[in-house]
Chain A
């Protein structure tokens, strides 16, 4: 049909040959593999960090590892000088798995063999080479730039225990790693020290490992245990040391004064003062202290500041000052000693029930003064100098009752009040000696002499009686003694005869025993001779012991 002819003809497009050739699978596969590797690499790639060290001693790019808990977590990739050429910048690639550990306050240090007084560490690095030690931090912020530590941190973050800060005037012989002792048991270490921001003191950071950290309570005293502490006091020679390590290296000890052990535990980071020695550290701070002044009438040589004030042997106070006092009225100069008394120390020595009652009395100034006044004015409480050690001449102040002492008053209007004194015990001996002499004088020497004469007369008589007794002995006993001796002589003669006959039988020249003996002796002589011959022969022919005697005629 014509209508059909008008229609346009469809365009015949020949089927295009597939442009894709299977050979392209090869490069696609190659790309997939290469991209896969790249992806894998990127995914496993951990962070790259830089650590600044003072020196790269033992650090080598590609050979030094970063280890955490002895596990490789990274590798040093580059070591170069910092831009100012003062330090070394170490670049390390950290494994992906360890990347969460790379926080701001993480620490790095070089582990190398270290030999110190307190121990040997890092010996394994002698074989494996140095490596970089790592200690994770607690911060949440990521860090990529670090400054390496020159010495490994003493305490790793996850060691249980607590840190405390000690404040001291100077560092002394302490250093990082110096031991911390509790009852001479090493329980911690000094982990860091730094000057206080104002430069007035040193802050020493110590770590007390669990479970010992619970013994650090609020009233715990820390004191320097470095070296030997020798003190010569009225109590004698006092030598204190901690361990030998502390002796050589220094150390800190802590202790809680008795009576405070039950106080609450100190929280972490508590600041404690570091005392110079144990004595000062352990001094209990008494809240109640009364000061007195003592005027002596004798030399106070040997008495020094800090000397104890004893009351029946219990230290109740101490000497705070030793000096002189000038009395303008009498133009007299006398020794002046200031003491401080801690009434609580007396209370502490009492049984519980009594202690409470006295404590109540002591706490109020009025009752306390009243009590002291009674002691001094009614009971005769006096202070006197006493010798602590005759060897060193150290003296202390002793409080005791002297009921016979002259009356004295305690004048509270003066500050400090004057506590009456009495002369020390040594001069008192003279007094006692005088009293002995007095007694001696009263002895009735005349009567004694009379008695003595009578005694001598009776003695004379006794002697005379004795002489007559001896004379009687001479006349009565001696003759009978003579006849007894004659008889004895006869007996001896008979004995002699018996002996003579024995001689002929046994030892006389013809006695049979004698003959036998002689024969025996001759036999013995012969035996000895042949033995000598044998010995001579053996000396010349030692082999004869093994081989026997040869035919060779015996030399004469």
Chain B
């Protein structure tokens, strides 16, 4: 089975209606839903790469800078994401530690690695495992919003623990970077065109 684009047809990214393009270089608009039609999203790989690189770069300060600054009468402590996880684990609440660890460390890294893998394979015209790769991409897209959990917990605690001057919790400088990482990976996932995965594959997906 060949793709629609290979037959000179264009599919709507919104309502999936397959139509004949108005012109070869300007496919026009979907006759059903009015969405601008594209054979393939323009510069999808390049855009995704750019956003992915930005996310990767910002992931470093997001993890090194503290996200939570706790000030009590006797001490002040800055917690990074990882030190928070370690603290939670050490204080016995390992389920919580696991949740934070997965949401804040595993998922962002997983997303970056998964997107990078998909991009590289697409660029290399890899033809194997395109089904798996598509599933991987779907998971990345789905899971993106959940990795804001850490920021969510942060805002929660900051709002709750304001017992100044006895104790106060403030968001650390790492929070905006972490948010940027999450947002950028989401954008990167969106800017990718999943149709590229199977474009070069000669495998018949019909089955």
Residues of chain A at the chain B interface (Cβ within 8 Å): 21, 23-24, 26-27, 29-31, 33-34, 37-38, 60, 62-63, 127-129
In the complex, besides A34-B61, A38-B61, 11 extra interface pairs with C-beta distance below 8 angstroms are: A23-B50, A26-B51, A27-B53, A27-B54, A30-B53, A30-B54, A30-B58, A30-B180, A63-B74, A127-B74, A129-B75
CA–CA, A21 to B46, complex, Å?
Answer: 8
Across the two chains, which residue of chain A brings its CB closest to B62?
A: A34
Q: Does B35 contact A (CB under 8 A)?
A: no
CA–CA, A15 to B162, complex, Å?
Answer: 62
- Identify A33's interface contact among B43, B46, B58, CB under 8 A: B58
Q: Does B60 contact A (CB under 8 A)?
A: yes
CA–CA, A529 to B74, complex, Å?
Answer: 85
Q: Do A127 and B53 touch (CB < 8 A)?
A: no
CA–CA, A31 to B65, complex, Å?
Answer: 16
Across the two chains, which residue of chain B brings its CB closest to A24?
A: B50
Produce 1/0 per residue, B40-57, CB < 8 A to A: 000100110011011101
Residues of chain B at the chain A interface (Cβ within 8 Å): 43, 46-47, 50-51, 53-55, 57-58, 60-61, 65, 73-75, 77, 177, 180, 184, 191
Q: Which residues on the B side are within 8 Å of A26 (C-beta)?
A: 50-51, 54, 184
Q: Which residues on the B side are within 8 Å of A62 (C-beta)?
A: 75, 77
CA–CA, A27 to B55, complex, Å?
Answer: 7
Across the two chains, which residue of chain A brings its CB closest to B61?
A: A37
- Give A469 Cβ to nearest chain B Cβ, in Å: 114
> What are 6 inter-chain pairs, A to B, with CB distance below 8 A?
A23-B46, A23-B47, A24-B46, A27-B50, A27-B51, A63-B77
Q: Which residues on the A side are within 8 Å of B65 (C-beta)?
A: 37
Across the two chains, which residue of chain B brings its CB closest to A41?
A: B64
Q: Which of B46, B51, B54, B61 has the most C-beta atoms of chain A within 10 angstroms of its own C-beta? A: B54
- Identify A23's interface contact among B51, B61, B73, B77, CB under 8 A: B51
CA–CA, A127 to B165, complex, Å?
Answer: 14
- Give A63 Cβ to nearest chain B Cβ, in Å: 4
- Give B184 Cβ to nearest chain A Cβ, in Å: 7
Q: Which residues on the A side are within 8 Å of B77 (C-beta)?
A: 62-63
Across the two chains, which residue of chain B brings its CB closest to A29?
A: B54
CA–CA, A62 to B76, complex, Å?
Answer: 8
Across the two chains, which residue of chain B brings its CB closest to A35?
A: B57
Across the two chains, which residue of chain B brings its CB closest to A72?
A: B76
Q: Which residues on the B side are within 8 Å of A38 (C-beta)?
A: 61
- Give B110 Cβ to nearest chain A Cβ, in Å: 19
Q: Which of A21, A34, A60, A128 has the most C-beta atoms of chain B within 10 angstroms of its own C-beta? A: A34
Q: Which residues on the B side are within 8 Å of A24 (C-beta)?
A: 46, 50
Of all A-B residue pairs in the complex, the 8 with the closest CB atoms, nearest first, are A30-B54, A27-B53, A27-B54, A30-B57, A63-B75, A23-B50, A26-B54, A23-B47
Q: Which residues on the A side are within 8 Å of B46 (C-beta)?
A: 21, 23-24
Q: Which residues on the A side are within 8 Å of B60 (C-beta)?
A: 34
CA–CA, A129 to B72, complex, Å?
Answer: 12
CA–CA, A26 to B181, complex, Å?
Answer: 12
Q: Which residues on the A side are within 8 Å of B51 (C-beta)?
A: 23, 26-27
- Give A20 Cβ to nearest chain B Cβ, in Å: 10
- Identify B57's interface contact among A23, A27, A127, A128, CB under 8 A: A27
Q: Which residues on the B side are within 8 Å of A30 (C-beta)?
A: 53-55, 57-58, 180, 184
Q: Do A23 and B43 touch (CB < 8 A)?
A: yes
Across the two chains, which residue of chain A brings its CB closest to B75?
A: A63
Across the two chains, which residue of chain B brings its CB closest to A34?
A: B57
- Give A305 Cβ to nearest chain B Cβ, in Å: 64
- Give B90 Cβ to nearest chain A Cβ, in Å: 13
Q: Do A34 and B58 touch (CB < 8 A)?
A: yes
Q: Which residues on the B side are within 8 Å of A23 (C-beta)?
A: 43, 46-47, 50-51, 191
- Give A77 Cβ to nearest chain B Cβ, in Å: 12
Across the two chains, which residue of chain B brings its CB closest to A37?
A: B61
Across the two chains, which residue of chain A brings its CB closest to B173?
A: A37
CA–CA, A34 to B65, complex, Å?
Answer: 11
CA–CA, A30 to B53, complex, Å?
Answer: 8
Q: Which residues on the A side are within 8 Å of B74 (C-beta)?
A: 63, 127-129
- Give B55 Cβ to nearest chain A Cβ, in Å: 8
CA–CA, A111 to B75, complex, Å?
Answer: 16
CA–CA, A26 to B55, complex, Å?
Answer: 9
CA–CA, A322 to B205, complex, Å?
Answer: 128
CA–CA, A26 to B50, complex, Å?
Answer: 7
- Give A518 Cβ to nearest chain B Cβ, in Å: 93
Q: Do B47 and A21 touch (CB < 8 A)?
A: yes
- Give B98 Cβ to nearest chain A Cβ, in Å: 24
- Identify A21's interface contact among B43, B57, B58, B73, CB under 8 A: B43
CA–CA, A31 to B180, complex, Å?
Answer: 13
CA–CA, A8 to B50, complex, Å?
Answer: 43
CA–CA, A162 to B57, complex, Å?
Answer: 58
